[in-house]
Chain A
Amino acid sequence: MKDFIIPDRDFGTPAAKSKTMVTLTIDGFDITVPEGTSIMRAAAEIGITVPKLCATDSIDAFGSCRLCLVEIEGRAGTPASCTTPVAPGLKVHTQNAKLKQLRRGVMELYISDHPLDCLTCSANGDCELQDMAGAVGLRDVRYEAVETHFKAKNTSGEANPQYLPKDDSNPYFSYDPAKCIVCSRCVRACEEVQGTFALTIEGRGFDSRISFGAKTDTAITSDCVSCGACVQACPTATLQEKSIIEIGTPERSVITTCAYCGVGCSFKAEMRGDELVRMVPYKHGKANRGHSCVKGRFAYGYASHKDRILSPMIRDSINDPWKEVSWPEAMEFAANRMNGLIAKHGRHSVGVITSSRCTNEETFLVQKLTRAVFQNNNTDTCARVCHSPTGYGLGQTFGTSAGTQDFDSVEETDVVILIGANPTDGHPVFASRLKKRLRAGAKLIVVDPRRIDLVDSAHIKAAHHLQLTPGTNVAVVTAIAHTIVTEGLFDEEFIRTRCDWDEFQDYAAFVADPRHSPEATQLLTGVKAEELRAAARLFARGGNGAIYYGLGVTEHSQGSTTVIGIANLAMLTGNIGRRGVGVNPLRGQNNVQGSCDMGSFPHELPGYRHVKNDSVREVFESLWGVKIDNEPGLRIPNMLDAAVEGTFKGLYCQGEDILQSDPDTKHVAAGLAAMECVIVHDLFLNETANYAHVFFPGSSFLEKDGTFTNAERRINRVRKVMAPKQGYADWEVTQMFANAMGAGWAYTHPSQIMDEIAMLTPSFAGVNYERLEEMGSIQWPCNEQAPEGTPLMHIDGFVRGKGKFIVTEYVATDEKTGPRFPLLLTTGRILSQYNVGAQTRRTENVVWHDEDVLEIHPHDAEVRGVRDGQFVKLASRSGETSLKAKITDRVSPGVVYTTFHHPDTQANVITTDYSDWATNCPEYKVTAVQVSPSNGPTEWQEEYNAQAAHSRRVLAAE
């Protein structure tokens, strides 16, 4: 195991960005720093640490503790070094008799109102107050405070009104007001870093206290989203991770990458032995810059949850109970079955599903298994059900499916269009960075059927919310283009030089047609024409314009068309090829990008190259020594159709739960039930495993080496911090299975797999583990032309040459409301849960979301007699389920909304099998439904639960 102890010094104040340099002298040493740097930071850069309490380099200085005093020759007094900027020629002294005395005095005051139980304090060894007492040479406290905040009772035994008990309401951290020094770091972290404004300082002077909003609010009842930024900023034990309280301080740390969402935050996994003590977002992580959300920082408990399966299991039929077996036995059983199926039904009768949660290396091996060992192209991935339209749409217009920017780019954006994405819940750390930019003055246009938090939240208000009817994205995007073209707001210079001018003319003529005007489409889309025009003008004329979008764009029958429309808008306004602009797909799972890059799709080999290209196949054929099929393979829905038809018999499914995550649950169940060998490789007996014959237990991201690629194409290292609990990393399991089928693979470390990827894939040619070690992370393409990787795409020209405008005709989805199903259901996700919830449901995160609820407008609720919190039946033409109603005007009349994090809800029993025309990405975002009051679970839910319980039985090994 490699140990990375990276000195993570606190420079006290954030780095200044100025290009003008200033030279000064500190304690006799010359130092040159950018203008705007604090004296504290300048001193830190030459290794001089000025004592400090209220400053930390993740937030702006506040200057309240007065511990960081310095003397400047020729200036009166003792200014605070954290709030005093450098100036040319200053001569600064950080240590002399006067300063020493002043600092001791400050410390004495603090300590007199602080409990002296350091030895048993949870922050012992990790407390800045303790450190500072040492640093200033505090040896005794000369007076005993009469009034304190920390004594529960005063000397005569009466209750101390200043004493506040500990707030343990948050499952992950505690707030102990007795230890608070009111440095306000937490308040500033919540505002500046997280952007939630949950904390305030109440009262003044001696009475001032940190509070979670209103006086009566506890951490859990407040607006707090449990990101932990305040805990990280707190210099004392006041805000403290409960894991530290329980375990003690860590002794080493390993840099790794969050396994939850597509932001791909870097973390220090802080360890004691092989016990994970806490996760701390890594300051030098380029995606997250030291911030994280509740999932990455706190919700790792699933990795050691009792539900985790640690032994391989097999069974002859899905009606039998599981039998625990040894690894070799499981491999032999699985390989015999698969080989039997291939012998009987041909090599096209089996296939694989790769995971967007596993590493690139693992995904690569799974698709290699089907291509080189099964010798077909039947590989697909859950990215199918989320971002496949991005691949198609951006591929057609720009020449590559790649998102165009890095996350840092948002710092230079002036106008953001956010369409079909809810980053405060889905991509929280990106949301925090976006909010920071919005507070600095950038404008926001939200296109979403639902009033997401960003439309109106603390210190943020969207300039426009285009609250469209679900399913009308294309009409709205085209109407925006109509406005830009007909009002002459397009960037002609950009279009002439960077795009195909003739294609643009056709496109312009198409969108200029009055039937695409906002006025003509407003009845259909539900968006007021004036509002839409104003938004279009703002985007076209407001400076750097960037478009961020999510599954609300892709998961539609016209998903690919909307992506094309978005690309058109960016080209139309010249918003491509520099910082602050671009087209940015916000990808859902941690490695959606990577699983697509690695050739998970049935029509393309790693690096997005179609299997029909002889020259591409040859490269693989010569290295792998097999013939690669030149026909596209089956996609997930096609696999299921083929299974029902009887021509698809065997599936190896790694780290995905298609039964829960894919639409039309009944069809998925029928497809799985028709197969003769389903191998599920996962941490838990997931829903799909109810139909499996072989179960390979998986390893968590803490237990293996590898890489994840985030939404900015950034390849981040995942590092093993503990041994796999079930014996093998997932790539080893796949290799054992491949070898049981006769593959003869001999990888001994994932770095060798990456070397093979680099050899086969031009956009990865320059990637290897050594380079990743040196650079921290790399954004592909990384090769001879771009040895340092590529933060921004299409700088001097589009990947395909000229940008291609493509007309986007609106085609109404066939999923229409009618008398039986008069409401439109759309789906989404929430912050504390992740995807199908298999992990987050097995953590304390359930305190925020213990069940899925149905949001319904008061009007629709009233006419149906639905009351808040009551069970309702939700029915579509596919099926019905029941869940509790939540009455809210976040959704428009006629629209209902739910999440799909809990299997009991079975939201996908409702969704239909309609899908994107180009990629078959399912239409999750629009389903016609009816809602009616009900008393509890539907028959299907009960049947399903009975089947699941029956199927999950495990026989103890003899």
Chain B
Amino acid sequence: MSADTTTKLVYMANQIAKFFESKPHDEGVAGIASHINDFWEPRMRSKFFEIVDAGGTGLRPLVLEAAANIRRPVAA
């Protein structure tokens, strides 16, 4: 995974988080997870989990909280 893609995905996840941060906490966490589940293609989610598994550098806290509810893609 190129540094470029990582930066992009982190950026996108954080952008989503900024919208949901203004919601009540639980709703926000659920909102991020379902948004990423609904709109991110498995390749993107795989890379997202590579980032999370490597410590989630750069991701906003709410994204990290939501990660538990994001579907890990089954290996293709």
Contacts and interface: CB of A to CB of B under 8 A. Distances in A.
B18 A634 contact: no
B23 to A, nearest CB: 7
A634 B39 contact: no
B44 interface: yes
A920 B35 CA distance: 12
Interface string A630-645: 0111110010011011
Contacts of B57: none
A185 interface: no
Contacts of B40: 632
Contacts of A811: 15, 18-19
Contacts of B18: 809, 811, 917
B53 interface: no
Nearest to A346: B76
Contacts of B37: 612
Interface string B38-70: 111111100000000000000000000000000
Given A603-B38, A808-B22, A811-B19, 14 more contacts: A346-B76, A602-B41, A603-B39, A612-B37, A632-B40, A634-B41, A638-B41, A638-B44, A642-B43, A644-B2, A645-B5, A811-B15, A918-B19, A920-B12
Given A917-B16, A918-B16, A632 B8 contact: no
A562 to B, nearest CB: 12
Contact of B19 (A377, A633, A634, A917): A917
Contact of B43 (A557, A644, A647): A647
A644 B44 CA distance: 14
Contacts of A557: 15
A203 to B, nearest CB: 63
A766 B21 CA distance: 42
B16 A632 contact: no
A614 to B, nearest CB: 15
A510 B23 CA distance: 10
A856 B38 CA distance: 42
A602 B8 CA distance: 19
A121 B35 CA distance: 66
B38 A807 contact: no
The secondary structure that dominates the B interface is helix
B76 A348 contact: yes
Given A645-B2, A917-B16, A807 B41 contact: no
Contacts of A917: 12, 15-16, 18-19
Contacts of B1: 645
Interface extent on B, as a size class? Answer: 20 to 34
Contacts of A554: none
Nearest to B1: A645
18 contacts: A346-B76, A377-B41, A378-B41, A560-B19, A603-B39, A631-B73, A632-B38, A634-B41, A634-B43, A641-B8, A645-B1, A645-B2, A807-B22, A807-B23, A811-B15, A917-B15, A918-B16, A918-B39
Interface string B1-43: 1101100100010011011011100000000000101111111
Interface in A915-945: 917-920
Contacts of B76: 346, 348
Interface string A798-833: 000000000111010000000000000000000000
Interface of B: 1-2, 4-5, 8, 12, 15-16, 18-19, 21-23, 35, 37-44, 73, 76
B22 A918 contact: no
Interface string A181-215: 00000000000000000000000000000000000
A633 B38 contact: no
Contacts of A919: 39
A845 interface: no
Interface residues of A, number: 32
B5 A631 contact: no
Contacts of A114: none
A288 interface: no
A561 B43 contact: no
Interface string A361-386: 00000000000000001100000000
Name the residue among B1, B4, B43 with the largest chain A CB count within 10 angstroms.
Answer: B43
A610 interface: yes
A414 B76 CA distance: 56
Name the residue among B4, B5, B35, B39 with the largest chain A CB count within 10 angstroms.
Answer: B39
Name the residue among B19, B39, B41 with the largest chain A CB count within 10 angstroms.
Answer: B41
A809 B41 contact: no
A651 B72 CA distance: 26
B36 to A, nearest CB: 10
Contact of B5 (A560, A603, A641, A807): A641
A642 B5 CA distance: 9
Contacts of A378: 41
B44 to A, nearest CB: 6
A473 B72 CA distance: 36
B43 A610 contact: no
B26 to A, nearest CB: 14
Nearest to A639: B41
Nearest to A633: B41
B34 to A, nearest CB: 10
B41 A510 contact: no
Nearest to B47: A645
A557 B18 CA distance: 11
Can you list the 5 inter-chain pairs with the closest CB atoms, starting with the nearest? Answer: A809-B22, A917-B15, A811-B18, A634-B41, A807-B22
Nearest to A602: B41
A898 B3 CA distance: 33
Nearest to A917: B15
Contacts of B21: 809
Interface string A335-349: 000000000001010
Contact of B41 (A561, A610, A632, A644): A632
Contacts of B15: 557, 811, 917
A603 B40 CA distance: 9
Contacts of A645: 1-2, 5
A638 to B, nearest CB: 6
A717 B12 CA distance: 40
A918 B5 contact: no
Contacts of B39: 603, 632, 635, 918-919
Nearest to B42: A631
Interface in A617-661: 631-635, 638, 641-642, 644-645, 647
Contacts of B22: 510, 807-809
A348 B43 contact: yes
Contacts of A602: 41
B53 to A, nearest CB: 18
Contacts of B2: 644-645
Nearest to A629: B42
Interface in A886-923: 913, 917-920
Contacts of A809: 18-19, 21-22
A376 to B, nearest CB: 9
A741 B54 CA distance: 41
Contacts of B35: 918
A704 to B, nearest CB: 32
Nearest to A631: B42
Nearest to A557: B15
A247 B23 CA distance: 65
Nearest to B36: A632
B62 to A, nearest CB: 13
Nearest to A667: B4
A808 B23 CA distance: 9
A645 B46 CA distance: 14
Nearest to B74: A631
